[in-house]
Structure 1
């Protein structure tokens, strides 16, 4: 039985084809963008370090709840990385053996695919909004340097597009 096999009631086993290489690459790129690309810089800011930021404005922003906000965003980015990988790994088809009460059960296909499509749509909409805001307010004095978009926009594009590609592959093969 392959790692992508789903046990049915009784002895029946349904085979789910493994993901194509391009979907695995897209999912990995998305997961890396979410974790390695997003988390380190935002963790630095969450710890109160004003890297690429106006120090005085950053202190006020941070004191107003910026640190906890960024910690929540880092947690969500980690979940988004796991979501991307679940679209191409066996544990995105069948719950692993260590999962209480769900071990061996099929993962709800529509829920996983819909979540991935919704997250990717949000990421891509946010990317467009952030790019427009930066263009319209490039010379305004904000907390963070407007040049941060040279880092952020490509990262969010890889994250959103990779997640979309992996979700499309998951939906088709499951």
Structure 2
């Protein structure tokens, strides 16, 4: 019991320190740029809320279950906000890659501020620390396992096991069409000279295909156990964070981009004041198909990630499921 409490407090201290570092790095980046940047308010608010929620979990006695439950929920919500704010790292990486691929002569094109990148990296790390600390602190008390910090509980009802396959299928329209364009195809294109002239058009395909592979890893056996042909780790259990952390990151990216893109795409197509989509080089179905598939991909990916979490959360010390 005392060992569990001590471990929980140590993890909470690290998580609070991470939240404080995220808040400070965000404020520093804001001062350097002198103007708001995407996710700035979310990073500040989530880091402050996460630190306060963890402090409450540490201070409130274990007997006050409702208060601790509310604090745990607040900590998990703060962690989700930190992941959401840090997910813009993907677009920072794409901007740098596109800048180098295009070889633009403008030194200010697609500029990425290092302070902003540092704040987003700290946000992702703080999110992981916050989730771990909340789990240990909220389950503090009698009957907890000294290894995992949890209490035995019955298995939760399963999500649809095929959600990962659906997520993989929904992730494919964008990379398949983009790769077809890179290979010279004119599918969905009205102005080939415009679309084919875009430099680095293949770069967004890489994270999209990585997301397709991740969607399958959530439901395939090799997402739980390394294949035996893998050197050194073949046949051993895949660490859950290796699959769940990228899944949460992907969900944050899709939640940030997909709904807004779909709404903007529908408004653009239906707005008589804007030029037709054909004038920018695309058939109307192309952006709408991309954005709609992203929204549905996010829903299916969330189901697959929950199913993976539910079926891999066992603890060998207490047989917790």
What is the TM-score when the length of structure 2 is the normalising length? Answer: 0.42
- Runs of 5+ unmatched residues, structure 1: 1-16
State which of 165, 178, 184 in structure 2 corresponds to 1:28: 165
Task: Write the mapping of 1:42-53 to structure 2, written as runs, cut at 5 A.
Answer: 42-53=178-189
8 Å contact 2:265–2:288 — kept in the other structure?
A: no
What is the total number of aligned residue pairs between the two structures? 150
1:3 match: none
| Distance across 1 between alignment mates of 2:308 and 2:287 | 30
8 Å contact 1:134–1:146 — kept in the other structure?
A: no
Once the two structures are TM-superposed, the CA of residue 136 in structure 1 deviates from its matched residue by 4.3
| Distance across 1 between alignment mates of 2:190 and 2:167 | 30
Question: Higher Cα Rg: structure 1 or 2?
Answer: 2
1:82 match: 213
8 Å contact 2:167–2:297 — kept in the other structure?
A: yes
2:297 match: 159
- Runs of 5+ unmatched residues, structure 2: 1-154, 313-321
| Distance across 1 between alignment mates of 2:179 and 2:168 | 17
| Distance across 1 between alignment mates of 2:252 and 2:284 | 24
Q: Give the number of the structure with larger relative contact order, counting CA–CA contacts within 8 Å between residues 6 or more apart.
A: 1
1:145 match: 283
Residue 62 in structure 1 maps to residue 196 in structure 2: yes
8 Å contact 2:162–2:219 — kept in the other structure?
A: no
Residue 41 in structure 1 maps to residue 177 in structure 2: yes
| Distance across 1 between alignment mates of 2:246 and 2:213 | 12
Once the two structures are TM-superposed, the CA of residue 83 in structure 1 deviates from its matched residue by 0.7
Change (3 A) 1:49 1:89: closer
What is the TM-score when the length of structure 1 is the normalising length? Answer: 0.72
2:85 match: none
| Distance across 2 between alignment mates of 1:147 and 1:94 | 40
Task: Write the mapping of 1:2-21 to structure 2, written as runs, cut at 5 A.
Answer: 20=158
Q: Deviations over 1:140-170 (max 9, x none)?
A: 3423234324422332122211111111111
State which of 226, 240, 250 in structure 2 corresponds to 1:119: 250
- How large is the Cα RMSD of the aligned pairs? 2.5
Change (3 A) 1:156 1:64: closer
| Distance across 2 between alignment mates of 1:91 and 1:84 | 12
| Distance across 1 between alignment mates of 2:296 and 2:267 | 23
Question: Structure 1 stretches (4+) deviating beyond 4 angstroms?
Answer: none
| Distance across 2 between alignment mates of 1:137 and 1:38 | 19
State which of 255, 259, 278 in structure 2 corresponds to 1:128: 259
SS at match of 1:96: coil
Change (3 A) 1:69 1:100: farther
